[in-house]
Homo-oligomer: A and B are copies of this chain.
Amino acid sequence: MNALTVAEYTHSLGLQAKTASALMAKAPAAIKNKALLALARLLREQTEALQVDNARDLERARAAGLAEPMVDRLKLSPKVLETCAQGCEQLAAMADVIGEIIGMKQQPSGIRVGQMRVPIGVFGMIYESRPNVTIEAASLSIKSGNACILRGGSEAIDSNRALAKLVQQALTEAGLPQDAVQLVQTTDREAVGQLIAMPQFVDVIIPRGGKGLIERISREAKVPVIKHLDGNCHTYVDDPCDIAMAVKVADNAKTNKYSPCNASEGLLVARGVAAEFLPQIGAVYAAKGVEMRGCPESLAILQSVAGAQLVPATEQDWSEEYLAPIISVKVVAGVDEAIAHINRYGSHHTDAILTRDHMHAQQFLREVDSASVMVNASTRFADGFEYGLGAEIGISTDKFHARGPVGIEGLTSLKYVVLGEGEVRG
The answer to whether B399 touches A403, judged by C-beta atoms less than 8 angstroms apart, is: no
Docked CA distance A375–B423 (Å): 10
Docked CA distance A382–B113 (Å): 10
Interface 9-mer from A43-51, A244-252, A272-280: A244-252
Docked CA distance A256–B423 (Å): 13
A400's partner among B99, B120, B423 (CB-CB below 8 A) is: B120
Q: How many copies altogether?
A: 2
The answer to whether A26 touches B375, judged by C-beta atoms less than 8 angstroms apart, is: no
Q: Nearest residue in B to A241 (C-beta to C-beta)?
A: B422
Q: What B residues does A354 contact at CB under 8 A?
A: 422
- What size tier do the contact residues of chain A reach? 35 or more
Cβ-based interface call for A388 (8 A): yes
A425's partner among B375, B376, B386 (CB-CB below 8 A) is: B386
The answer to whether B382 touches A423, judged by C-beta atoms less than 8 angstroms apart, is: no
CB distance from A423 to the nearest CB of B (A): 5
A224 and B224 in contact, given A415-B373, A422-B377, A424-B248 (Cβ under 8 angstroms):
yes
- Write the A375-413 contact mask toward B (1 if CB under 8 angstroms, else 0): 111101110001110000000000111011100000001
Docked CA distance A118–B116 (Å): 23
A416's partner among B105, B387, B401 (CB-CB below 8 A) is: B387
The answer to whether B116 touches A423, judged by C-beta atoms less than 8 angstroms apart, is: no
A111's partner among B371, B381, B399, B420 (CB-CB below 8 A) is: B381
CB distance from A407 to the nearest CB of B (A): 11
Docked CA distance A105–B403 (Å): 18
Docked CA distance A219–B224 (Å): 12
Cβ-based interface call for A313 (8 A): no
The answer to whether B375 touches A419, judged by C-beta atoms less than 8 angstroms apart, is: yes
A387's partner among B113, B387, B403 (CB-CB below 8 A) is: B113
Q: What B residues does A401 contact at CB under 8 A?
A: 224, 400-401
Docked CA distance A300–B399 (Å): 54
- Write the A185-209 contact mask toward B (1 if CB under 8 angstroms, else 0): 0000000000000000001100000
CB distance from A259 to the nearest CB of B (A): 14
Report A's interface with B, CB cutoff 8 A.
Answer: 22, 25-26, 99, 105, 107, 109, 111, 113, 116, 118, 120-121, 203-204, 219, 222, 224, 242, 245, 248-249, 251-253, 256, 343, 352, 354, 365-367, 369-378, 380-382, 386-388, 399-401, 403-405, 413-425
Nearest 4 pairs between A and B by C-beta?
A: A377-B420, A252-B424, A245-B422, A374-B418
A-B contact pairs, 18 of them (CB 8 A): A22-B343, A111-B377, A111-B386, A113-B387, A118-B369, A242-B422, A248-B424, A249-B424, A372-B418, A373-B415, A375-B418, A375-B419, A376-B420, A377-B419, A381-B423, A381-B425, A387-B418, A403-B414
